[in-house]
Structure 1
Amino acid sequence: MTTSGRPRTTAEPTRLTLLDSLFPGTDETSALARATDWARTPLGDPSAWSSELSAAIRTVMPASIPMLLWWGPQLVQVYNDAYRPICGVKHPRSMGQPAAECWPEAWAELGPRVGRVVGLGESDHEQALLLFLERYGYVEETYWRYSFSPVRSMDGEVLGVFVATTEVTATEVERYRLAAVHELAVVSTAAIRSAEDLVHRVEPVLARDRRAVPFAALYLPDPGGDLVRAAAHGIVDGSRALPERVPSGAAHPVADAARARGPRSVHTIDGELVAEPSPLGALVPTDVVHVPLCSPDGPLEGVLSVGLNPYRPDDRPYETFVTLLARQLTALLTDVRAAEHERSRAENLEVALRTNRTIGMAVGVLMASRRLSDEDAFRLLRDASSTANRKLRDVAEDVVHTGRLPH
């Protein structure tokens, strides 16, 4: 008798013993599998399960790597605890659910692959398969290393599919993001004459892989302090979000970033900008991050505005990536402005020396021909060379201040 007074049937201890045997673990997923009403799934009551299904489950459940079993015509799911995080919010209803019902957003890609395993009995594998999954309330770009293997009966019929899988999303996303940073790192500034030239040089680099940078705009300060959009990609209409000019005192996110000169700021651009769809799919980016381009103790070089990938979360790795882009662009702009200053110093010195030599020769000729008195010659030399001397003084003061001669 049970504690409630109801007689215990002979089938109950058998069923409990069978479930304990099939799902013996103390982890959350094993407990869920023991509590699942399998009779309400296409697999039916566990007491009627075939020996092949029971053996397959005993292989999957204790594995330390993520493993999944798809069984029968509807490919009903049974998975272990290492696989549970992969399901996201689909867990726990994903246990005992047909695969196509659990993963409808990816079944156009997965269905044919699994169909070949079941229909032809051939294994299938990939190192980094791109799948768009909805596990956390949004469509997510994910990458997977997996192996699909047929599970056969004694007579060779394919009864199910073993799935061993590892998510490699972080590795793949980091790979293409770092590739974008590396492309900027190898840009040479040797032949670049101005910040404007540099911006036009680096924008195609940013646009090369729009998974990393779906759209972007680079702003440079003009002499009056306003921010001018010097280059952009992935934008159909910048409108209010990324206009061609942002006054320095405007209440605008680009101007705010320039004034703050601190951490990046993110804002949503719905209705303020028309961006090109993501190269990954139909979604259009709706968030942009603004980062000031400046070193801690240096002048503002510009502002970088980057559209965020709508298929990836704006998390810490994403923040690190955007920061690396900004640092690399700041370094390039600083190098170009330093070279521009060096050229200006050298040109000033050359002009001043050439002018003084010319004036000195002219005055000497006039004095030699007695067409000028000594007093008039010195006055003329002083007045005529004042502009050149100012340039010489500027160069001299710069040399004293920096300790460097112009090249």
Structure 2
Amino acid sequence: MTMVPELQSSSLTEAIFVGDGEMATLMRSYNWANTSLGLVENWPQSLKTLVSTILVSRFPQAIYWGEDYIQFYNDALIPIYGAYHPHAVGQPLPETWPEVWDDQFSSMCEGVRNTGEAFFVKDQPQLVLRFGYLEEAYFTYCYSPACDETGKSRGIFATITETTQQVISQRRLTMLRELATAVSGAKTLQSACLAAADTLNPYDIPFALFYRVNSQGNLAELVADRGLTSDSAATPSTIALIPESDTNDSTEQSRGWLLAKVLQSREPQLITDVVDRFGALPGGPWPESSHSALILPILSGNKEQVECLLIVGISPRLEFNPEYRSFLELVAQQVESSIATARSYEEERKRTEALAELDHAKTLFFSNVSHEFRTPLTLINGLAAQLGK
């Protein structure tokens, strides 16, 4: 990007690119002569007015002008541009966002510019490449025609709001509600894990593995899974829980899930090299492999021991931020609660069975005692009857 302040009249640029914000400062120093728009003084008055309007607005707004959709945007839209900022300024929209510029999107833009009819969409899913990876994102936007002095539509006036956080938060909240319902009737640890696995959303949890820890704490057994095949290197039926201090082979540390570390610390463990460990793994609905996974401990009702270890894949198209981590911890807590309830149910069932056994034993004992008392009395009564004759 070439900055040449001397090309433009200071008074003119300050009148158009108003304010002391980042975008106003950037546009004042931009070499607009190198774009299809040419020198600023030759711009139509309508474009100058639109640019000055969006720069003072606190709502995310942009202008895409001309047949190549040259971009202007304000400070409020910088977070949406992400890594594309500031290079997108003055550049054609299709060149900045090639992953967005498909037939449908280009037809929509052409429709607004050619027909003069606005286009509005809410929570539109969009795959964008802002931070070095193809990202699942959602936007609500209105594209209106931007007209010149003759009333002819020359471009697009865009008002854009990113709703990614709201859409994904609602999706996760829905899943947590469904999870709570699904596991509420579980009577055993395994049934709780199976019910939980069936409700996990693949957009946020591409795969999941539930490992039950044995009473000795030295072996984990796979009791439920989702999103992985049984022949995958990532789904062993059992995993020996060997403490790291007992493992001297460094190559051993680079393989497997290292569940023993989570068992010992009782803290979640992020694994960022799952592809190196196991090869490509499912990415949920996306073609890319999950690159990371989180191992979460599921504790007993009294919090004294680890009942289960939950391994969840992380979406390759979402940032693993604190909100994502908190969501996964809530999933583990929900399963933990259901297992504790199942344990209570199991203990109550065992108590009921024990009481029934005790009651049966008492009945049998007194029945036998009664029989033993009746037998000698019968003999005595019989003998007495004989003597009386």
2:374 corresponds to which of 358, 368, 372: 368
Secondary structure, counterpart of 1:270 in structure 2 = helix
Q: How far apart are 1:240 and its partner, in Å?
A: 4.1
Structure 2: any 5+ residue segments left out of the alignment?
A: 245-256, 379-389
Q: 1:97 to 1:351 in 2, by over 3 A?
A: same
Aligned residue runs from structure 1 range 203-218, under 5 A? 203-206=197-200, 209-218=201-210
2:143 corresponds to which of 131, 145, 148: 148
Q: Name 1:313's counterpart in structure 2.
A: 319
C-alpha separation in 1, matches of 2:88 and 2:280: 38
1:347 corresponds to which of 350, 353, 370: 353
Q: Is the 8 A contact 1:196 1:230 kept in 2?
A: yes
1:57 aligns with 2:51: yes
Q: Is the 8 A contact 2:45 2:149 kept in 1?
A: no
Amino acid at match of 1:73: E
C-alpha separation in 2, matches of 1:113 and 1:52: 22
C-alpha separation in 2, matches of 1:356 and 1:13: 105
Q: How far apart are 1:356 and its partner, in Å?
A: 1.9
Secondary structure, counterpart of 2:144 in structure 1 = strand
Q: Is the 8 A contact 1:239 1:273 kept in 2?
A: no
2:159 corresponds to which of 159, 164, 169: 164
Q: Name 1:267's counterpart in structure 2.
A: 272
Q: Is the 8 A contact 1:213 1:309 kept in 2?
A: yes
C-alpha separation in 1, matches of 2:187 and 2:7: 84
2:80 corresponds to which of 68, 80, 86: 86
1:201 aligns with 2:192: no
Q: How far apart are 1:371 and its partner, in Å?
A: 9.1
Q: How far apart are 1:163 and its partner, in Å?
A: 0.4
Aligned residue runs from structure 1 range 6-405, under 5 A? 15-108=9-102, 110-187=105-182, 189-190=184-185, 192-206=186-200, 209-225=201-217, 226-236=219-229, 239-249=232-242, 252-271=257-276, 272-279=278-285, 281-294=286-299, 297-370=303-376
The farther-off stretch of 129-138 and 255-264 is 255-264
Deviations along 1:140-189, one digit per CA (max 9) or x if unpaired, are 11111111000123444210100011111111111111111111222354
Q: 1:153 to 1:265 in 2, by over 3 A?
A: closer
Q: 1:238 to 1:21 in 2, by over 3 A?
A: farther
TM-score with structure 2 length normalisation? 0.86
Secondary structure, counterpart of 1:43 in structure 2 = coil
C-alpha separation in 1, matches of 2:308 and 2:31: 62
Q: Is the 8 A contact 1:246 1:255 kept in 2?
A: no
Secondary structure, counterpart of 2:121 in structure 1 = strand
Amino acid at match of 1:357: T
Deviations along 1:108-150, one digit per CA (max 9) or x if unpaired, are 1532221211122211111101111111111111111111000
Identity %: 26
C-alpha separation in 1, matches of 2:353 and 2:14: 87
Q: 1:195 to 1:13 in 2, by over 3 A?
A: closer
Q: 1:238 to 1:33 in 2, by over 3 A?
A: farther
Q: How far apart are 1:355 and its partner, in Å?
A: 1.3
Q: How far apart are 1:293 and its partner, in Å?
A: 0.3
The farther-off stretch of 336-345 and 220-229 is 220-229
Amino acid at match of 1:201: A
C-alpha separation in 2, matches of 1:12 and 1:354: 102
Q: 1:142 to 1:13 in 2, by over 3 A?
A: closer
Q: Is the 8 A contact 1:227 1:255 kept in 2?
A: no
Amino acid at match of 2:220: L
Secondary structure, counterpart of 2:223 in structure 1 = strand
Q: 1:336 to 1:273 in 2, by over 3 A?
A: farther
Deviations along 1:77-114, one digit per CA (max 9) or x if unpaired, are 01111112221121111110100011111111532221
Alpha-carbon RMSD across the aligned residues, in angstroms, is 2.3
TM-score with structure 1 length normalisation? 0.83
Amino acid at match of 1:261: R
Deviations along 1:224-262, one digit per CA (max 9) or x if unpaired, are 531111111111366443422111226542232222212
C-alpha separation in 2, matches of 1:157 and 1:62: 25
C-alpha separation in 2, matches of 1:36 and 1:238: 58
The farther-off stretch of 312-321 and 253-262 is 253-262
Q: How far apart are 1:13 and its partner, in Å?
A: 9.3
Q: How far apart are 1:223 and its partner, in Å?
A: 4.5
Q: Is the 8 A contact 1:105 1:133 kept in 2?
A: yes
Structure 1: any 5+ residue segments left out of the alignment?
A: 1-10, 373-407
User: Quick one: higher RCO (CA 8 Å, sep 6+), 1 or 2?
Assistant: 2
Q: How far apart are 1:294 and its partner, in Å?
A: 1.0
Q: Name 2:387's counterpart in structure 1.
A: none
Q: How far apart are 1:290 and its partner, in Å?
A: 0.3
C-alpha separation in 2, matches of 1:205 and 1:223: 28
C-alpha separation in 2, matches of 1:203 and 1:12: 64
Q: How far apart are 1:199 and its partner, in Å?
A: 1.8
How many residues are aligned here?
A: 359
Secondary structure, counterpart of 2:242 in structure 1 = coil
Amino acid at match of 1:290: I
